[in-house]
A = this chain, B = another copy of it.
Amino acid sequence: MSITERMLETYPGSITGTDQARLRACVDACAACAEACDACADACLSERSVADLTVCVRTTLDCAEVCGATRRVLTRQTGSEERVLRALLNACATVCAVCRAECEQHAAEHAHCRICARECQICEQACRDMLSTL
């Protein structure tokens, strides 16, 4: 059982308006995607072909940032506001889609881009799954 799941189980208030399994999956996907993106940005910086990977560095940094912010907002349940969740999940899904497309261009050459693209795909789907329940 992940830490997200255990913490959700002990939440003293009611968690309304969201499917708990999808919420948990989305929090964990955001955390994993943020880690993959931060690592991919740094791996790109270490490639000899870094000059061809600058857009990838930037995109993975942006994706890590938005996934991190989304994780924190989703984790908070007190006074959750549907409009905010909706706009932020949409932004997160968008940056994941863009980052996945960017990383896929380098996936044949760089394993870190291949793994990162896959995490972006999972996270985009988790955001869309959660959006569909709001």
Residues of A within 8 A of B (CB): 3-4, 6-13, 27, 31-32, 35-36, 38-43, 45-48, 50-51, 54-55, 57-59, 61-62, 64-66, 68-69, 71-73, 75-81, 83-84, 87-88, 90-91, 94-95, 98, 110-112, 115-116, 119
- Measured CA separation A40–B58 after assembly (Å): 13
Question: A34: shortest Cβ distance to chain B, in Å?
Answer: 8
User: How many copies of this kind of chain does the complex include?
Assistant: 4
Contacting pair B77 A87 (CB below 8 A): no
Contacting pair A69 B71 (CB below 8 A): no
* Interfacial chain B residues near A79, Cβ < 8 Å: 54-55, 58-59
Known: A39-B4, A39-B8, A90-B91. A58 touches B76 (CB 8 A): yes
